[in-house]
Structure 1
Amino acid sequence: MSSDAIQPLFEHFRVRARTFFVGNQCAIASFEKPEGQGYLHLMRRGRGEVRYNQGRRSFQLNGPGILFYPRSLPHHLIPADAEGLDLVCATITFGTGVGCPFAQALPEVMHMGMDKVQALGDLLFEEAFGTQDGRQGMVDRLCEVVLIHFVRQALAEGHTQPGLLSGLVHPQLRNALRAIHLEPGKPWSLDEMAASAGMSRSAFAQAFKQTLGMTPGEHLARFRVSLAQELLSHGTPLKVAAFDVGYGSSTALSRTFRELTGRSPRAWLQQQRG
C-alpha cells in the first residue's frame, strides 16, 4: 500500500485548471476573483510588476516564472514596457467542499522560478502558443501538474498555514490523516485515530489540535461534509452520499452539513447550480 499522504486528497478533491488567456499582455490586467477560485499565471517572457490592494507590498516580475494564488487575493499585473508580458493564465478550483484543504493551507501567493519545472514549462508553452488541436485540454492538464509542484514545494519548505497540509508533514499525524482520508466512511473513534498515528490518545488529541487548529472529530466532520458536497454536486442522492461518507442517515448528514455551511444540503446545492 502506498504511503503517499497527499494522493487521497487529489482523489477526493479534484484540482481543476481552466486556461482563459494565452498571449501578450500589453496593458494592466486586474484579477478580482470570487471566493472559491484561484489563479495561476505562467510568464514566458517580459518584465513587470504585481500590485495589490490595501497597501500590500508589490512584487517584481523579471523573466520566466510562475505565480500561484490559491484563494481570493485581488491583484493587478502591470507590464514594465511596450514589449508586454507573454502569459498563460488559468483559473483554479479545488473541488466544491467546505474543507478546500489545499486552498486554505497554502500561502496567499506563491512564486516559483521556471527553472524548477523547466521541461514541464517548455511543453506547456509549446502547446499554449502552438496551433495543434486539443491544446486547451493539454494546457489545462499541464497547469494542474504545475499545481502539484507548488503543493510539494510548500510541504518541502514548510510554507503551510496551520491546517491539513501542516498535519501531512507531521511524522505521526500524517499516518492518521492518510488512514482517515482513505476510509472516511469508517466509524472512527479517537482511540483508532491515535493508534493509526502510533500515539497515545491524549498526545494525539493535543498534537492534532496544535497542528491543524481543530480537534480530530472536527476535522473528520469537515472532511466528510466536503466529500458529501462533491458527491451531491455530481448528482449523488443525499441518502447515498450520507452512507458513503459515514453517516447513518440523511438526517444526520444534514444536521452536520447545516452546522458547517449554514445551509441545508438542498439549499446549498441550489446555490451551486445557480
Structure 2
Amino acid sequence: MAQASSDRGFPDDLQFTFENEQYVAAAAMSLFQAGKAESARLLLDVSACWIHREHLDFNSWRDVATLQVPSWAVHAFNDERRDEIAGAIRMSAGFHLELYPEEVGVIPELPQADWKPHLKKMLDEGPKNQARLVPLKQEYPQADGMAFRDGAELRMYEALKAKQEALPRDETFTIVPNASIRVPGHTWEPDFLVTYKGHSCVVEVDGGSHNRKYASDKSRDELLQDAGIAFVKRIDRSDAMNDPDLYEFIERTLRKLANT
C-alpha cells in the first residue's frame, strides 16, 4: 500500500478528486493501441471520471478511479476489464497528477431531471409488447424506437440488423426484440425472436439479468419448441460483446434455421 509523502505536495489529511475526461481519453487510446479493444470500447460509455485519494489511516492511503456510466453498462465492467482500465488510467494519471489508481470503481448514472416527460410520453403512446422495458432515457439503451435490457442485447440487435441489411431483400429475416409471447400456461419475453425462411427461433443473451437455472431453461425451451419455435440458441453475454464470436453465432443460427 502506498504511503503518504510530503514531497508529493499533498496535505496528509485531505482527499483529492480530479475530474477530467482527458484521462479517460488517454486510457482508451492506450488500451486500443495495446490490443485491448473491448476495454477501450467500454470507455465510450463513461460520462464522468473521478480520480481521488482515499486516506485509510494516519499514514496510509490509496488512489482510486471511479467511472460513471449508464446503468445498463455497469455489468460489462467485469474484473478483467476493470483491471485493464485501471492500468491504463494509472499510466496517464500517474504521469500528470502523481496519482496511481490501484482499482477502478463503476457507478451508474442517476436519471436526468427530465425523466417524467419521457415516462409520460411512453405511457401516452399506449401499451406495447415492450411495456415492461419502459425506455427511460438513462435506464435502457435504445435503437430504432425499441428498448433493450443492456448493452449486450443492444450489441446483438446491431449485429443482427447489420446481417439483415446485408442480405438480398427477398432473402432477409425478421428481428423481434423483447416481445411478449404466449404458450399454454405461460407468458414469456425472450430476448429475440428471429424468423428466416419460414422458420422461427429464439435467441437468448445469457448472464447478467438472466439468473435462470439450467433445469428451468430446459423446461422453457421445450415448451417453446412444442409451441412451434424451431429451437432456442443461447450466447453468453461476454461473447455477445466480442464481434468475432457474435457474428459467428449469428451465421450458425441462420444456417440452422435455413436447414430446419
TM-score (structure 1 length as normaliser) = 0.27
For normalisation by structure 2, the TM-score amounts to 0.28
Higher relative contact order (CA closer than 8 Å, sequence separation 6+): 1
